[in-house]
Amino acid sequence: MAQFRTFDALVLRSTALSEFTKHIELEVSGSSRFGFVPGQWLSVKANTPDGEEMTRAYSIASPPSGNGHVAFCLNRVQDGFMSNYLCSLAEGAMVAFQGPFGDFILRPPFRDTVFIATGTGIAPFRSMLHWLLAESDRHQGRQFWLLFGARYEQDIYYREELERLAAEHDNFHFLPTLSRSASDWKGLRGYVQEHLAEIVGIRNDMHAYICGLDKMVKANRELLKSLGWDRTSIRYEKYD
């Protein structure tokens, strides 16, 4: 079996995105030998208090930077070891990982694309969209929609940043939808799959990327297939 190199990374910053969610920025040691493509994930390794080695996958939530910096968007899972371990790390701590892995990546030739995420499923799309929109010869004026589902307004991770990106790029449309919105919320309401048909209309010449928990991924794939989409136009990553 192939042996993968283990990298170490320093926690540069850990900031709360919501009560149970953190944005963590890491600096990979020996970064000249580390590179990744937007959408890929790292396999983080750590030992439990009783000495068992655990590994868990985490999507890279930042675009390639060339300086070995990567970010994670992490949600604490109740009774889970790794998610709570990572969310509790102090700045200056070290993290070990292997990777990058995964083929949930942008496939050229690019088409108009809808990105669908709930919760920390936003992570790979933050990486992809920053990378795509940074240069016009990457996005080629294609239209991109980010349909992001959360419960409450405070759970719209990276909201200001994504709103800014949408204000700066006519071809990027940021559409947060809330399943438990307050009465004064002016945006979309309900689950992501309830808005997908409005976005894609009768088109089936687009791409869709879906990331999050199994139930949400299934609901969106089924809907797109019922609208006549070819399965090869729909790519997805499941977190559970």
Query: Which residues of the chain form contacts with ligand FAD (CB under 6 A)?
Result: 41, 56-59, 72-75, 77, 79-84, 120, 123, 213, 237, 239-240
What burial class does residue 77 get, using C-beta atoms within 10 Å of its C-beta: 0-12 exposed, 13-18 middle, 19+ buried?
middle
CB of 111 to ligand FAD, least distance (A): 24
Q: Are 75 and 213 in contact (CB under 8 A)?
A: no
Q: In what order do the strands lie in the sheet containing 144-150? A: 188-189, 172-178, 144-150, 113-118, 207-212, 234-238
**Closer CB to ligand FAD, residue 31 or residue 84?**
84
Supply φ then ψ for residue 18, to 5 degrees. Answer: -160, -175
Q: In what order do the strands lie in the sheet containing 94-101? A: 53-59, 41-47, 94-101, 6-18, 21-28, 69-75
Scan for tokens 């919320």, then name that residue: 185
CB of 47 to ligand FAD, least distance (A): 13
CB of 42 to ligand FAD, least distance (A): 9
DSSP 3-state assignment of 60? coil
**Closer CB to ligand FAD, residue 4 or residue 204?**
4
Report the residue closest to ligand FAD, judged by CB. 80
CB of 125 to ligand FAD, least distance (A): 11
Residue count (the chain): 240
**Closer CB to ligand FAD, residue 50 or residue 170?**
50
**Closer CB to ligand FAD, residue 119 or residue 139?**
119
**Closer CB to ligand FAD, residue 41 or residue 144?**
41
Q: Are 68 and 5 in contact (CB under 8 A)?
A: no
Estimate to the nearest angstrom the gap between the alpha carbon of 142 and the chain centroid.
20
CB of 152 to ligand FAD, least distance (A): 17
**Closer CB to ligand FAD, residue 51 or residue 201?**
51
CB of 186 to ligand FAD, least distance (A): 29
Q: Are 65 and 35 in contact (CB under 8 A)?
A: no
